Amino acid sequence: MTTTLTQLADGEIDLNIELSVEEFAPFLNRAASAISGEIKLEGFRPGKAPLDVVKARVGEAALLERAAELAIGNSYPAAVKEKNLVTIGYPKVDVMKLAAGNPFTFKARVPILPEVTLADWRAVKVDQKPHEPVSDEMVGKAVEDLRKMTSTEKEVTRPAANGDRVEIDFNIFVDQVPIEGGTSKNHDMELGAGHFIPGFEEGIVGLTAGQEKEYKFDFPKEYHAKHLAGRPADAKVKVHKVKEVVLPELNDQFAKKLGNLGSLLELKMKLRENLEHEAKQRADRQFELDVFDALIKAAKFGALPKVLLDDETEKILREIEHDVQSQGGKFEDYLSSMKKTRDELKVELAPQAERRVKAALIVRHIAVSENVAASSDDVEKEMIDARASLPDSPEVKQQTETEDFRAYIKNRVVHRKVVELVKQALTKKPA
């Protein structure tokens, strides 16, 4: 087998592969055996008819085409191994020459994993900044958040005030045209929380249950929907209910109801501990980002294949979509509020995708150079943890028993080990 490699743009290569007449001959025999196993030939057991008999029955062209398929399936992986390539996805194969009594030649075009040059990654300097200190005000806010989460509501007949919850019907118009998402019935909202359009909530303050009101307000100049930013709007509101939010009294009993806590002081200490942990996690994540930004800057990369960048961009897009849906929103509404199409958002996400691809390439480079591997025990433990976090269904269980899932888990373990290795090696204490 003769293999020549041609480097193309966008991280792709062409592998031109030629099999001599002698090298191609075994695939003709295998093709004849396969075909004779699929059709009935008098006097021969399935799969046992000779080459000439099969050729006479199905024709030389059909025999050559089946032999070519078998030869490509065998020769392409061998050529990839011979050239020590790490390919991405499946190749685009073109048969260049397929004729009886001639060498068989074909071309396989495929993206390859880019080379990474990072001479001495341990020489990269990154300072680890201390985490944000937890203040008494932060603890106090956490306590108030817990009070709000455990609050009760009671309907009142007095005028609505900030801090109350109201149930309303509303319509919002701009230039007498209803805006998208500007109509709702029995909508529940908290006044003064700033969760709705600034300016709109203020018009509801002072209304009582059963009252209706028409009023004007202006969209903020920095409103996220640019086509509405700074524009005047008309609102029609009908109030169905005004509900006073009753917060639990702040005392030891409040702390005891929240869990296995003996006093309000103990609750505050626990909240401070949790806030400290979260602050350390944020600082650690930021340090990881800073580390890989520095490593990316210090490294040199071969051409990044378009398919690799497109796949990562699509992955980020799916993550955003999942986040929006997990918060009860619709991705279509999110795109509308951003005034972007799905394709326009993908263009905007391209730099982030490129950074993530480069970071993953650096992780792989360091894993190879430092012999970082995942042991069987590592993989088994990770698989158990992963399965525990997934839905309990036969379909999911079947997916987690595949070799693809095991390979994914193995890569995840290696990635985590490399990240920890790099962070430990590059940690610099602030002066």
Instruction: Kindly state the tokens that stand for 288.
Output: 């990881």
Nearest residue to 15 via CA among 32, 25, 1:
1
Residues 285 and 396 in one domain: yes
Residues 349 and 412 in one domain: yes
Cα distances (angstroms) measured from residue 279 to each of 130, 141, 282, 381, 426: 9, 15, 5, 28, 20
Q: What is the largest CA-CA distance in the chain?
A: 99
Give the pLDDT band of residue 431 (cuts 50, 70, 90): very low
Residues 421 and 282 in one domain: yes
Reply yes or no on whether the pLDDT at 429 is more than 60. no
Nearest-angstrom CA–CA distance, 260 and 42: 82
Segment 81-137, tens digit of pLDDT: 999 999 998 899 999 999 989 999 999 999 999 989 988 888 888 888 888 999 999
pLDDT at position 428 is: 62
Beta strands 232-246; 152-155: pairing state:
antiparallel
Q: Provide the 8-state DSSP code for 9.
A: G
Residues 335 and 206 in one domain: no
Query: Phi and psi for 319 in degrees, rounded to 5?
Result: -65, -45
Residues β-bridged to residue 246? 152
Nearest-angstrom CA–CA distance, 247 and 287: 39
Q: At 99, is the secondary structure helix, strand, or coil?
A: coil
Nearest-angstrom CA–CA distance, 191 and 158: 14
Reply yes or no on whether the pLDDT at 234 is more than 60. yes
Q: Is residue 313 part of a domain?
A: yes
Q: Is residue 68 part of a domain?
A: yes
| Residue 43 vs residue 174, higher pLDDT | 174
Rg (CA), the chain: 33
Reply yes or no on whether the pLDDT at 2 is more than 50. yes
Measured from the Cβ of residue 166, the count of other Cβ atoms closer than 10 Å reads 21
* Amino acid residing at 24: F
Give the pLDDT band of residue 372 (cuts 50, 70, 90): very high
Mean pLDDT value of segment 264-285? 94
Q: Which of 80, 112, 144 is the last residue of a domain?
A: 112
Segment 253-268, tens digit of pLDDT: 999 888 778 899 999 9
Q: Is residue 215 part of a domain?
A: yes
Give the pLDDT band of residue 180 (cuts 50, 70, 90): confident
Residues 334 and 324: beta-carbon distance below 8 Å: yes
pTM score, two decimals? 0.72
Q: At 173, is the secondary structure helix, strand, or coil?
A: strand
Residues 285 and 423 in one domain: yes
Q: Which of 206, 231, 246 is the last residue of a domain?
A: 246
Residues β-bridged to residue 190? 165
Residues 322 and 281 in one domain: yes
Beta strands 427-428; 126-127: pairing state:
parallel
Mean pLDDT value of segment 221-246? 90
Q: Is residue 281 part of a domain?
A: yes
Instruction: Kindly state the tokens that stand for 298.
Output: 């210090």
Q: Is residue 210 part of a domain?
A: yes
Residues 160 and 98 in one domain: no
Residues contacting residue 75 through CB under 8 Å, at least 6 positions apart: 1, 17, 19, 106
Segment 21-64, tens digit of pLDDT: 999 999 999 988 888 887 777 767 777 777 777 788 778 898 89
Reply yes or no on whether the pLDDT at 233 is more than 80. yes
Q: Is residue 119 part of a domain?
A: no
Residues contacting residue 93 through CB under 8 Å, at least 6 positions apart: 72, 76, 106, 107, 108, 109
Domain count for the chain: 3
Cα distances (angstroms) measured from residue 165 to each of 62, 126, 156, 160, 202: 75, 48, 10, 8, 13
Residues 212 and 237: beta-carbon distance below 8 Å: yes
Mean pLDDT value of segment 280-298? 92
Nearest-angstrom CA–CA distance, 142 and 104: 72
Reply yes or no on whether the pLDDT at 430 is more than 60. no
The answer to which of 282-291, 295-304, 321-330, 392-401 has the lowest mean pLDDT is 392-401
Query: Residue 83's domain spans which residues?
Result: 2-112
Q: What is the mean pLDDT of the chain?
A: 89
Reply yes or no on whether the pLDDT at 370 is more than 80. yes
Residues 334 and 231 in one domain: no
Residues 363 and 390: beta-carbon distance below 8 Å: no
pLDDT at position 389 is: 78
| Residue 95 vs residue 424, higher pLDDT | 95
Give the pLDDT band of residue 185 (cuts 50, 70, 90): very high
Nearest-angstrom CA–CA distance, 75 and 143: 67
Residues 302 and 395 in one domain: yes
